[in-house]
Amino acid sequence: MRRQEGCLWLRLSSQGDGTRKAINWSSRRGNPLPQFDNWAVNGALAFGEFAVNAPTRLDSTPLLEEFPYRLTDNVRFADLDPNQHVNNAVYATYFETGRVTLMKDRSYRLMPPGLAWIMVRLDIHFRAELRWPGTIEMGLGVSKFGRTSVTFDQVVFSQGRCVASAQSVTVLIDENTRKPTPLTAEIIANFQPWLRRGVNGA
């Protein structure tokens, strides 16, 4: 993304293979910006630099059987917005229900005394509309262990179709100091039954 002698270099990334390209475009009057298919122009300066980035590549549709922890729930009328489908903000609650129900079940021993889990990141992919009335099935699987964190892959299914997926990151903290604390070997061992299919739990 640089200017050179009246030209702009546009740095592009393709949705298909992740390669990056550059295009030399003269900014002189009468030479408009070329048209691109499937490219998103994020920003520009008048005779400055253009940042051109492709949309994030969509991942493949997950399968419910990949997620060992499951819950079912009802779609509520209150979940709808004026478009008569479940509002995007409600999905964060669906995913929270899946995580909290697992983590706060003392029989699984995922939250030792004096420690707590806090959410630090939630990335949601909205895949299809969800309407009322109906039921949903939520799935959760551990995808990664960090030094102080656990990453979950999560899904919401309805009528056999994945309507939303997410990746969430939670960090283990000391309840008194409110500082991150390292995962113990026992906690990691207790998470093993909940690994997403195909994930190495080491």
Same domain, 91 and 167: yes
Instruction: Return the pLDDT at 31.
Output: 55
Give me the residue label for tokens 């995808």: 143
Question: What is the overall mean pLDDT for the chain?
Answer: 80
Dihedrals phi, psi of 195, to nearest 5 degrees:
-70, 140
What does the H/E/C string look like for 49-114?
Answer: CEEEECCCCCCCCCCHHHCCEEEEEECCHHHECCCCCECHHHHHHHHHHHHHHHHCCHHHCCCCCC
Q: What is the predicted pLDDT for the residue at 198?
A: 87
Location of structure tokens 């099935």? 137
User: Does the residue 31 lie in any domain?
Assistant: yes
* pLDDT tens-digit readout, 144-185: 999 999 999 999 999 999 999 999 999 999 999 999 999 999
Q: Does residue 59 lie within any of the structural domains?
A: no
Q: Would the pLDDT of 49 be above 60? A: no
Give the CATH number of the domain where residue 163 resides.
Answer: 3.10.129.10
The answer to whether residue 199 is domain-embedded is: no
User: Looking at the domain assignment, is residue 88 inside a domain?
Assistant: yes
pTM score, two decimals? 0.70
Q: Is residue 135 part of a domain?
A: yes
Residues 41 and 68 in one domain: no
pLDDT in tens, 50-104: 333 334 444 589 999 999 999 999 999 999 999 999 999 999 999 999 999 999 9
Residue 122's pLDDT band, with cuts at 50, 70 and 90, is very high
Are the C-beta atoms of residues 80 and 86 closer than 8 Å to each other?
yes
Do 18 and 86 sit in the same domain of this protein? no
**Which residues span the domain enclosing 13?**
3-53
Q: Measured between alpha carbons, how far is 14 from 77 in angstroms, rounded to an integer?
A: 40
pLDDT the model gives residue 115:
96
Pair of tokens at residue 171:
């960090």
Question: Could you tell me if 7 and 72 lie in one domain?
Answer: no
Instruction: Tally the domains of the chain.
Output: 2
